[in-house]
Amino acid sequence: MDVLGIGYSAIDYIFLVPRYPAINEKLEYIEFEIQGGGPVATALVTLSRLGKSTSYIGCIGDDWNGDFIKREFIRENVKIQNLVAQKNKRSPLSIIIVDKNSGKRTILWSRKELDPYDEKLIKENLFDGVKVLHLDGFEIETALKAIFFARKRNIPVVVDAGGVKKGMDMLLENSDYFVASSVFARDFTGEKDKTRALMKLYKINKRCVVITYGEKGSIGIKNNKMVEVPAFKVDVKDTTGAGDVYHGGFIYGVLQNWGLKKTMIFASAISALKCMQLGGRKGIPDITRVNSFLKEHRNHIR
């Protein structure tokens, strides 16, 4: 197993609209999609499309939406033997409104009905053959137990820090690769300046920290060497899931033992390609398409 992921999985109802609606307005949407979503879940789908073996640990409800989430995992070759469907619970659901003009989105979501994943189900044998552990800050007790077993086996830990949640400080301290959104970096450090925010996070983590800034690119540091990578310019249709796909691409680079800059460039490329289609998963490319895209944009990565 290349990558074991623990975290959040949802169903996304995605609406492309001509503009963001005003209060008390009726507005006809342009396109509609139903796709699987969630940070770790979508990163695993990304890795699966890139040819890596993946397995998901987390919770859903035993409703129609949960069945859809499971079918999506199966279709994408993500193993789900450790997925728990909680009885009489509703699965996490997101309503996503995408502005046609900018490709930016507004998300309404909730997972309140679900109980935490039972950390007692996390056994050391789950880590047999695992090469990377991926976490997103959800299921924090389970995540910390998983880190314990990962450390015993020298398995690298990658964290997707989309927003500040309980226990993120512990994940920051105990991860090998801490890849954060600009929102997390600002809110956690109190710094608006990206370099100062990066250095504050790195002072705690001491291994590798990356911050993503959407169309402004990403900045990272490892072994006290800072790297900055601009975003690829593409025709953006929807930014939903861009960060999740970035994390999948980043983990692919970790699996390939690439340096930080090459890994960030690859992650940026696959994220850009995703943004050309509606939804967090529809536009995720295979490795041939990513390599072709990178060849087309040689000047960007010099």
Any residues with CB less than 8 A from the CB of 276 and at least 6 apart, and which? 234, 235, 236, 237, 283
pLDDT mean across residues, the chain:
95
Residue 265 in contact with residue 231, Cβ under 8 Å? no
Domain span at residue 204 reads: 3-8+39-90+114-301
- Domain with residue 157: its CATH number is 3.40.1190.20
User: Does 83 map to a domain?
Assistant: yes
What does the alpha-carbon distance between residue 91 and residue 61 come to, in Å, rounded to a whole number? 4
- Give CA torsion, residues 215, 281, 6, 227, to 10 deg: -30
What does the alpha-carbon distance between residue 119 and residue 184 come to, in Å, rounded to a whole number? 26
pLDDT digits (tens, 9 = 90+) for 90-101: 999 999 999 998
As given in the structure block, the two tokens for residue 143 are 């995540």
Confidence class for position 184, pLDDT limits 50, 70, 90: very high
User: Does 21 map to a domain?
Assistant: no
Query: Sign (positive/negative) of CA torsion 43, 164, 149, 70?
Result: negative
**What is the arithmetic mean of pLDDT over 40-67?**
97
Any residues with CB less than 8 A from the CB of 24 and at least 6 apart, and which? none
**How many domains does one find in the chain?**
1
User: Does 32 map to a domain?
Assistant: no
User: Does 268 map to a domain?
Assistant: yes
Confidence class for position 190, pLDDT limits 50, 70, 90: very high
DSSP class of residue 300?
A: G
Report pLDDT for 271. 97
Q: What is the pTM of this model?
A: 0.94
**Residues found in the chain:** 302
User: Does 179 map to a domain?
Assistant: yes
User: Does 109 map to a domain?
Assistant: no
User: Does 138 map to a domain?
Assistant: yes
What is the DSSP code string of 227-246? EEEPPPP---S--TTHHHHH
CA 262 to chain centre: 19
User: Does 22 map to a domain?
Assistant: no
